[in-house]
Amino acid sequence: MQPLFDAIFSGLNGNNVDSRRLFHGRGHCFDGLEFVNVDLFPPVVYITLYQQADSQLIDSLVDFVSRQSGVDGVLVQHRYQKGAPSEVRYGNVPQALDIIEAGMLFQIQPGARQNAGFFLDMAEGRQWVRMNCRGMKVLNLFAYTCGFSVAAMAGGAAEVINLDMSRGALERGRVNHRLNEHNLSKVRFLPYELFRSWGRIRKWGPYDRIIIDPPSFQKGSFVASKDYQRVLRRLPELLADEAKVLVCLNDPNIGSDFLLELMQTHCPEASFVQRLPNPDSFPERDKERSLKVLQFDYRRPV
């Protein structure tokens, strides 16, 4: 338990106001602690358990966290149980909480569902978008709560098209843009099922930047192992003559070679540039089991 306590103490006792991971047990770098992650969404600490743990251990963890400065509430989520139920174990945890990342604001809903609505491991991806979208038309596929869209507008994008089949997620994305006082006339929210909407998507193109961040497995919506190719083969009809594509995958059982091979097969005009690093707070014993975010540069053949 000591590495867990040390990481939490170090992460909570500083001047950083950003939300961040305090302890990443799921990276399998801490033997015996693979079942727990700890996140900070100031002033709430979010403990996620991936297997049933000894109640005394959890009580000790909650007690330690609650005694740290700046912590107003502790939420424990039992991801191993059906529905991933959450319980407030200390203090106050609001239904909606505004958080900060690199000066950008996002609203999350701690404990409302399996995910709070914001993925901390994608911080480098959002930073890349922020730095590479000035003056660009951006297509954000599987937009969820529009984190990439917020980053694109913060970086001066000309226009962003967000597509996600969940109207509720897009509405939260709209809230995120309003929090950042963005011009919503430059942001579109399309509540469509992707594979039935290629015509609508082409209507707003061509796109200088496309971001693809699908769920790894969502029954009835998207299964990466069989559906990713259906997206990549459409890229040439969506992209501008020179463009950049960010391709993401968070399935621990599928490596980056899967994406590289699919892109070579279905959109060979797109050249691999780099794999973005994950935040230092997400150490992984096996890099290929971690989040994969790959940049490709596209150039249409003359």
For residues 126 and 246, state if they share a domain: yes
Cite the DSSP H helix spans in the chain.
2-12, 55-66, 123-131, 147-154, 167-179, 198-203, 224-232, 235-238, 256-266
For residues 255 and 130, state if they share a domain: yes
Q: pLDDT confidence of 185, banded at 50, 70, 90?
A: very high
For residues 157 and 294, state if they share a domain: yes
Q: pLDDT confidence of 232, banded at 50, 70, 90?
A: very high
Q: Is residue 13 part of a domain?
A: yes
Q: What are phi and psi of 194, to 5 degrees?
A: -55, -50
Q: Is residue 267 part of a domain?
A: yes
Q: Using the predicted structure, report yes or no on whether residue 220 has a pLDDT greater than 90.
A: no
For residues 71 and 133, state if they share a domain: no
For residues 146 and 90, state if they share a domain: no
Q: Is residue 52 part of a domain?
A: yes
Token pair for 10: 């170090």
How high is the mean pLDDT of the chain? Answer: 95
In Å, what is the CA distance from 199 to each residue of 193, 229, 284? Answer: 12, 18, 40
For 190-212, how does the pLDDT look when each residue is reduced to its tens digit (9 = 90+)? 999 999 999 999 999 999 999 99
Helix, strand, coil shares of the chain, percent, nearest 5, are 30, 30, 40
For residues 175 and 294, state if they share a domain: yes
Q: Using the predicted structure, report yes or no on whether residue 293 has a pLDDT greater than 90.
A: yes
Average pLDDT over residues 169-195: 97
Q: How far apart are CA 115 and CA 118, in angstroms?
A: 7
Domain boundary among 108, 142, 160: 108
Domain boundary among 52, 73, 108: 108
Determine the structural domain holding residue 190 and report its residue range. 120-299
For residues 18 and 142, state if they share a domain: no
For residues 101 and 129, state if they share a domain: no
For 71-120, how does the pLDDT look when each residue is reduced to its tens digit (9 = 90+)? 999 999 999 999 999 999 999 999 999 999 999 999 999 887 788 889 99
**Among the listed residues 266, 269, 255, the one whose alpha carbon sits nearest the alpha carbon of residue 227:** 266
CATH code (residue 78): 3.30.750.80
Domain boundary among 73, 108, 143: 108
Q: Is residue 113 part of a domain?
A: no
Give the number of domains in the chain.
2
Output b/e per residue, 135-150; b: 16+ Cβ within 10 A. Answer: ebbbbbbbbbbbbbbb
For residues 101 and 134, state if they share a domain: no
Looking up tokens 């996620």 gives: 48
Q: Is residue 55 part of a domain?
A: yes
Q: Using the predicted structure, report yes or no on whether residue 221 has a pLDDT greater than 80.
A: no
Q: How far apart are CA 174 and CA 188, in angstroms?
A: 9
Question: Residue 302: its pLDDT value, please?
Answer: 85
For residues 102 and 135, state if they share a domain: no
For residues 95 and 142, state if they share a domain: no
CATH code (residue 136): 3.40.50.150
Q: Is residue 115 part of a domain?
A: no
Whole-number percent of the chain with pLDDT over 70 = 100
Looking up tokens 């992650």 gives: 37
For residues 44 and 145, state if they share a domain: no
Q: Is residue 71 part of a domain?
A: yes
In Å, what is the CA distance from 290 to each residue of 36, 125, 262, 283? Answer: 16, 14, 19, 9
Q: How far apart are CA 139 and CA 163, in angstroms?
A: 8
End-to-end CA distance of the chain: 60
Q: Is residue 181 part of a domain?
A: yes
